[in-house]
């Protein structure tokens, strides 16, 4: 019975670790940020943790990864990460008192870069766009240097492949905080919140610990059982 108990612990450990690793493999990707467009939220060269999109609704404020070749006026291919500031049906414009305006509501974007490029004329180039359903308008947080929807046009939702939910690695993530900039302005739709990322590490580590405990207990129990069998086989000592 002792051996059976340790086997159960071992199998539970394998199951927990397998669940964590499976979730990691199926739902998360690592993305190396190549440029400055999303500074300071995600800096050039940072490793971003991306949750694969499985049809989830994309809201204003989401930091998304998409196929750059899907821009209406694409100038390059490959993956890119930018922030969604407007969705289908919205009217987005720049600028009122230097602020982005969505459906007539000025947005206080506390996540924007405040370096020297924040005052570059490109950061406040005027535009006015009404979005069709099934499209999003994406901008960089480093507004003075980003090439985004202001120049390249909208992105179809079908091209959005994931949500940036943290930096670092899946097992050692630093989750990104959600922005309230758009909901504070009275616009509906809360940005995507990942509820799994921080738990994956504990599934893997907890599963590994259970597996190690189960294997150790199994070996010890097997050795003790073998010792008892040898003792029994030897019979009582001679008189």
**DSSP designation for 84:** E
Q: What is the pTM of this model?
A: 0.75
Q: How far is CA 104 from CA 95, 124, 154, 187, in A?
A: 11, 17, 19, 10
Q: Would you give per-residue pLDDT tens digits along the chain (239 residues)?
A: 465 655 554 455 445 444 444 444 458 888 888 889 999 999 988 899 999 999 899 999 999 999 999 999 998 889 999 999 999 999 999 998 889 999 999 999 999 998 877 788 888 889 999 999 999 999 999 999 999 999 999 999 999 999 999 998 777 778 888 999 999 999 999 998 887 765 555 545 555 555 565 556 556 655 665 656 666 555 555 55
**DSSP designation for 82:** E
**pLDDT at residue 13 in the model:** 46
**pLDDT at residue 16 in the model:** 43
- Residue bearing tokens 């766009």: 129
Residues 228 and 222: their CA atoms lie apart, in Å, by: 10
């Amino acid at each position: 019975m002792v051996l059976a108990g340790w086997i159960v612990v071992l199998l539970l450990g394998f199951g927990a670790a397998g669940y964590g690793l499976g979730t990691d493999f199926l739902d998360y990707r690592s993305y190396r940020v190549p440029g400055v467009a999303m500074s300071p939220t995600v800096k050039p060269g940072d490793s971003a943790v991306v949750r694969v999109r499985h049809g989830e609704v994309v809201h204003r404020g989401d930091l998304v990864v998409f196929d750059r070749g899907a821009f209406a006026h694409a100038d390059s291919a490959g993956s890119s990460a930018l922030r969604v500031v407007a969705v289908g049906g919205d009217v987005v414009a720049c600028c009122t008192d230097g602020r982005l305006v969505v459906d007539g509501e000025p947005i206080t974007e506390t996540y924007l870069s405040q370096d020297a490029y924040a005052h570059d004329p490109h950061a406040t180039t005027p535009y006015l766009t009404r979005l069709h359903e099934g499209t999003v308008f994406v901008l960089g947080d480093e507004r003075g240097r980003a090439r985004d929807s202001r120049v390249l046009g909208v992105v179809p939702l079908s091209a959005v492949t994931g949500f940036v939910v943290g930096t670092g690695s899946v097992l050692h993530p630093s989750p990104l905080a959600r922005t309230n900039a758009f909901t504070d302005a009275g616009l509906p739709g809360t940005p995507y919140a990942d509820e799994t990322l921080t738990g994956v590490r504990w599934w893997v580590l907890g599963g590994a610990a259970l597996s190690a405990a189960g294997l150790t207990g199994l070996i010890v129990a097997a050795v003790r059982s073998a010792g008892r069998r040898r003792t029994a086989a030897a019979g009582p000592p001679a008189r």
